[in-house]
Amino acid sequence: MKELKKLTRIEELTELEAQAELRYLAKEIAYHDSLYHEKDQPEIDDATYDALRQRNTAIEIKFPHLIRPDSPSKKVGYKAAPGFAKVTHLTPMLSLDNAFTEIDVIDFIERTRRFLNLNSDAIEIIAEPKIDGLSCSLRYENGFLKQAATRGDGEIGEDVTENVKTIKKIPHHIPYTDIVEIRGEVYIKHSDFNELNSLRTKSGEPQFANPRNAAAGSLRQLDARITATRPLEFFAYGYSKYPSNLKTHLEGLERLKEWRFPVNPLIELCPSINSILSFYKKLETLRVGLDYDIDGVVYKINTLALQQRLGNVARAPRYAIAHKFPPEQAQTILENIILQVGRTGVLTPVAQLTPINVGGVIVSRATLHNEDELKRKDIRIGDHVLIQRAGDVIPQVVKVLNPDRPDRSMPFEFPDVCPICESYIERLPEQAARRCTGGLYCSAQAALRLKHFVSRDAFDIEGLGAKHIEHFFEQGLLKTPIDIFTLEARDRNSINSLATREGWGLKSAKNLFSAINNHRHISLERFIYALGIPQIGQTTAKLLAYHYGSYPQWKMAMQKAAEGQEEECQNLLSIDGIGPSVGEDLLSFFKERHNIEILEKLEQHITITDSISPTLGHSPISGKVIVFTGTLTTLTRAEAKARAEFLGAKVAGSVSSKTDYVVYGADAGSKADKAKELGIELLTEDQWLALIQQVD
Ligand code: IVH
């Protein structure tokens, strides 16, 4: 990053200095705009960027005759990137002016009041969370989603229609036939972001720095199939031009909800300045618990006639302002780097920090992600570092603040053996991660696997918390999941029974045993998830459970595939959503003799119930295996798949003798041919729609 200049007070700036600084700021802001928008790799945080822009505006106010033709205040955003077709927005996608203090907000209301010559009490404001994603404009014609575009430079954006069509929450048709452009924010949830980053680590790809960059990087993919694999979400917040019969912004939002757009649930109507400011404070506290990033509150004048009268100035409307939150960043010292062993043996370097308050939360640890990240940022013990946190996202080290200090320590070296069990550490080819090879022998892994096994989405044994597991593990009472179900019987024969131990009594021991006994029945999808196989999260576990239906069928199929039986391998990979890498992890699990032994012993203690996909009782396609091929006209593939699964069908990626229907659109190729060959029923898109319409 370039050094920021030492600032002279605006009042003391000479004309020559002002001119030089405006030149510098134009260049600097353009540089950061390009890093942020085109490369999705910002070097400075939002607050520092905002400060640059504020300084530029302040100098321009004092020296209006020095405003440059390339001034950042004249530009809305950034240039559309090469590689995408260009799209001209119906009306420009504007930016928002920022308020940083309550005084700025009061000024905004006052300004508005003066402009309209109204009493400020007569002005209703809608307060909305400012979502920290990237803005997107969706054009509907005759009710159909015709075009989706990024903001670009505000006038011209990038055509990301195909990419946007993969976002499940965005409707493909709306009950409105005039041309309309819906504006909103594409974002990624924290939980999905963390999962996406750990998947990327597994596959050796660099991690995204934050959810906003992940959303931008995912939406602006030249290949929409990649976008389709990313967990993009959307909040609609406005229009290029409101439909003509609406009177207020709030009605506009209601209309968006009626059309099935996701609209943020926290939006409020604020009738007074006080209610605006308390909304801001409320949101500041709620922010920590939200599953998505917000970086402030947007205030908008509710009455559309007033919005119209207010109009725009340069790059922003006069009827709205963004009240930004202070940055959740702080500087501290990195005291040590430790290695954490995960459930699957992956070693994650973690920074131990001098504790520091970041946006109201004391942070003493931050993830360093992996070895490559550590090297790329050249983070060393003893460094002064900038850290940041956003909502649920694990705190991160943004960068080293004093990389040129002469007495820095040496770069961190990964050890050759696991810090917990001393097993050899491997670095898998093509993966950024290093992994302890100790497996169940490694106590860190074994205890974490047990915790996962009893966790809420797995066996859900509430009485057996993390602390109990650690304790029982240290005491040698629990080593494998089987031990959980034999605990009571072993305890009965023990001279040192649980009820007599410190911190336990007859009642608590009895409660624990009944909690375990109440969970001896489990559905197949939960059971598969409980096994903690790398890459088999809840979604994949469900896919497997719905596909194979019962535990014996699943186990047999997995064992056959692990032995290399071609048909079962194909069958596994035919499941839409299961790729070769997931398949490999699954089969590695079944290739391990001791895993099969654990399964066989577990079977004696528990009952695994069959899985039936969420069926509508009268659905004509429930339980059927469907393959989609070619381009469908009324639905995207993702939508068709979701609909079919909702109606209880299984959607497969390839045609086999198990396929019931092949639905074909335009340009259907080999899959349709194969269906004909195998005598499988082929349906046109219309026939398919007619079939599923029966249950609508
Ligand atoms: S209204 C003309 N509402 O903030 C006003 N914007 O700096 C258009 N944003 O580019 C924006 N949440 O990407 C509006 N509830 C919200 C928003 C929001 C996030 C983004 C949007 C815009 C940027 C303005």
Query: Per-residue pLDDT tens for 662-677?
Result: 999 888 888 888 899 9
Extended beta strands in 575-660, E state: 607-609, 625-629, 650-652
Which of the 8 DSSP states describes residue 550?
A: S
pLDDT band at 365 (very low <50, low <70, confident <90, very high): very high
Burial of 398 (0-12, 13-18, 19+ CB in 10 A): buried
Indicate whether 435 belongs to any domain.
no
How far apart are alpha carbons 647 and 455 in whole angstroms?
Answer: 29
- Radius of gyration (C-alpha) of the chain in whole angstroms: 29
CATH number, domain with residue 483: 1.10.150.20
Q: Ligand 1 — pocket residues by CB below 6 A?
A: 94-96, 128, 130-131, 135, 151, 185, 237-238, 298, 317, 320, 322
How far apart are alpha carbons 390 and 234 in whole angstroms?
Answer: 19
pLDDT, residue 412, reads: 94
- Residue pair 683/662 in contact (Cβ under 8 Å)? The answer is yes
pLDDT, residue 690, reads: 84
Which of 100, 237, 325 has the most ligand 1 atoms within 8 A of CB, as the residue to mutate?
237
Ligand 1: centre distance to CA 198 (Å): 30
Nearest to 153 by CA among 92, 215, 71, 83: 92
pLDDT, residue 603, reads: 95
Report how far apart, in Å, the C-alpha atoms of 690 and of each of 38, 255, 601, 695 are.
44, 29, 48, 10
How far apart are alpha carbons 410 and 405 in whole angstroms?
Answer: 12
Indicate whether 380 belongs to any domain.
yes
Shared domain for 468 and 388, answered yes or no, is: no
Which atom of ligand 1 approaches the CA of 264 most closely? 15
Shared domain for 341 and 394, answered yes or no, is: yes
SS3 category, 111? helix
Ligand 1: centre distance to CA 294 (Å): 11
Indicate whether 427 belongs to any domain.
no
Indicate whether 335 belongs to any domain.
yes
Which atom of ligand 1 approaches the CA of 128 most closely? 15
The pLDDT tens digits for 107-159 are 999 989 888 888 777 799 999 999 999 999 999 999 999 999 999 888 889 99
Strands 86-88 and 98-99: unpaired
Per-residue HEC secondary structure of 47-68 comes to HHHHHHHHHHHHHHHHCHHHCC
Of 290, 324, 358, the position where a domain reaches its end is 324
* pLDDT at residue 4 greater than cutoff 50: no
How far apart are alpha carbons 512 and 580 in whole angstroms?
Answer: 40
The pLDDT tens digits for 228-238 are 989 999 999 99
Nearest CA to ligand 1 atom 13: 135
The pLDDT tens digits for 40-61 are 666 777 677 777 888 888 888 8
Ligand 1: centre distance to CA 96 (Å): 7
Nearest CA to ligand 1 atom 2: 94
- Residue pair 615/623 in contact (Cβ under 8 Å)? The answer is yes
* Structure-model confidence comparison of residues 45 and 608, the more confident one: 608
How far apart are alpha carbons 487 and 347 in whole angstroms?
Answer: 31
pLDDT band at 2 (very low <50, low <70, confident <90, very high): very low
The pLDDT tens digits for 87-115 are 989 889 999 999 989 999 999 999 898 88
Shared domain for 482 and 601, answered yes or no, is: no
Indicate whether 664 belongs to any domain.
yes
- Residue pair 298/253 in contact (Cβ under 8 Å)? The answer is no
Residues 6+ apart with CB under 8 A from 351: 334, 336, 337, 365, 366, 367, 368, 379, 385, 397
Ligand 1: centre distance to CA 128 (Å): 9
Q: Quick one: average pLDDT of 564-577?
A: 87
Mean pLDDT (the chain) is: 87
Residues 6+ apart with CB under 8 A from 556: none
Shared domain for 639 and 586, answered yes or no, is: no
pLDDT, residue 76, reads: 54
Indicate whether 361 belongs to any domain.
yes
**Which among 130, 300, 324, 650 is annotated as catalytic?**
130
How far apart are alpha carbons 388 and 401 in whole angstroms?
Answer: 13
How far apart are alpha carbons 77 and 94 in whole angstroms?
Answer: 9
- Residue pair 466/478 in contact (Cβ under 8 Å)? The answer is no
How far apart are alpha carbons 65 and 454 in whole angstroms?
Answer: 69
Of 324, 353, 378, the position where a domain reaches its end is 324
pLDDT band at 621 (very low <50, low <70, confident <90, very high): confident
| Structure token digits, residue 437 | 């090879």
How far apart are alpha carbons 382 and 400 in whole angstroms?
Answer: 10
How far apart are alpha carbons 696 and 691 in whole angstroms?
Answer: 10
SS3 category, 28? helix
Count CB-CB contacts under 10 A for residue 2: 11
Q: Quick one: average pLDDT of 477-481?
A: 90
| Structure token digits, residue 215 | 């959303």
* Structure-model confidence comparison of residues 283 and 431, the more confident one: 283
Ligand 1: centre distance to CA 129 (Å): 9
Shared domain for 12 and 28, answered yes or no, is: yes
pLDDT, residue 599, reads: 94
Which of 298, 304, 307, 310 has the most ligand 1 atoms within 8 A of CB, as the residue to mutate?
298
Ligand 1: centre distance to CA 234 (Å): 13
Shared domain for 202 and 90, answered yes or no, is: yes
Which atom of ligand 1 approaches the CA of 130 most closely? 12
| Structure token digits, residue 188 | 């990624």
Residues 6+ apart with CB under 8 A from 407: none
* pLDDT at residue 345 greater than cutoff 60: yes
Nearest CA to ligand 1 atom 3: 237
- Residue pair 576/546 in contact (Cβ under 8 Å)? The answer is no
Shared domain for 127 and 49, answered yes or no, is: no
| DSSP states of 262-325 | ---TT-EEE-SHHHHHHHHHHHHHHGGG-SS-EEEEEEEESBHHHHHHH-EETTEETTEEEEEP
How far apart are alpha carbons 86 and 152 in whole angstroms?
Answer: 9
* pLDDT at residue 251 greater than cutoff 50: yes
How far apart are alpha carbons 310 and 301 in whole angstroms?
Answer: 9
* pLDDT at residue 617 greater than cutoff 60: no
How far apart are alpha carbons 362 and 354 in whole angstroms?
Answer: 10
CATH number, domain with residue 34: 2.40.50.140
| Structure token digits, residue 633 | 């006209």
Shared domain for 210 and 221, answered yes or no, is: yes
Tallying the residues shown for the chain, one arrives at 696
Shared domain for 24 and 147, answered yes or no, is: no
* pLDDT at residue 435 greater than cutoff 70: yes
Of 324, 352, 370, the position where a domain reaches its end is 324
Q: Give per-residue burial for 546-572: e unless 16+ CB within 10 Å, then b.
A: bbbbebeebbebbbbbbeeeeebbebb
CATH number, domain with residue 169: 3.30.470.30
Global confidence as pTM: 0.51
Which of the 8 DSSP states describes residue 521?
A: E
Counted domains in the chain:
5
| Structure token digits, residue 294 | 């917000």
Burial of 276 (0-12, 13-18, 19+ CB in 10 A): buried
Ligand 1: centre distance to CA 130 (Å): 6
Which of 54, 96, 263, 301 has the most ligand 1 atoms within 8 A of CB, as the residue to mutate?
96
Report how far apart, in Å, the C-alpha atoms of 209 and of each of 51, 291, 361 are.
21, 16, 20
| Structure token digits, residue 574 | 């035919």
pLDDT, residue 3, reads: 38
pLDDT band at 562 (very low <50, low <70, confident <90, very high): very high
- Residue pair 342/270 in contact (Cβ under 8 Å)? The answer is no
Indicate whether 447 belongs to any domain.
yes
Shared domain for 308 and 176, answered yes or no, is: yes
pLDDT, residue 182, reads: 97
* Structure-model confidence comparison of residues 210 and 263, the more confident one: 263
- For 501, the domain range is 442-519
* pLDDT at residue 392 greater than cutoff 70: no
Indicate whether 614 belongs to any domain.
no
Which atom of ligand 1 approaches the CA of 77 most closely? 10
The pLDDT tens digits for 494-541 are 888 999 988 888 999 999 999 999 999 999 999 999 998 888 888 789
pLDDT, residue 408, reads: 92
pLDDT, residue 101, reads: 92
Nearest CA to ligand 1 atom 23: 95
pLDDT, residue 337, reads: 96
pLDDT, residue 6, reads: 58
**Angle subtended by helix axes 580-591 and 551-562, to nearest 10:** 90
Counting runs of H as helices and runs of E as strands, what totals does the chain give? 24, 26
* pLDDT at residue 36 greater than cutoff 80: no
Mean pLDDT is lowest, of 41-50, 165-174, 327-336, for 41-50
Q: Judge whether 130 counts as a catalytic residue.
A: yes
Shared domain for 136 and 262, answered yes or no, is: yes
pLDDT band at 175 (very low <50, low <70, confident <90, very high): very high
Q: Quick one: average pLDDT of 584-609?
A: 91
Mean pLDDT is lowest, of 82-86, 430-434, 451-455, 679-683, for 430-434
Strand partners, 3: none
Shared domain for 180 and 272, answered yes or no, is: yes
Q: What are phi and psi of 130, to 5 degrees?
A: -90, 105
Which of 49, 131, 219, 235 has the most ligand 1 atoms within 8 A of CB, as the residue to mutate?
131
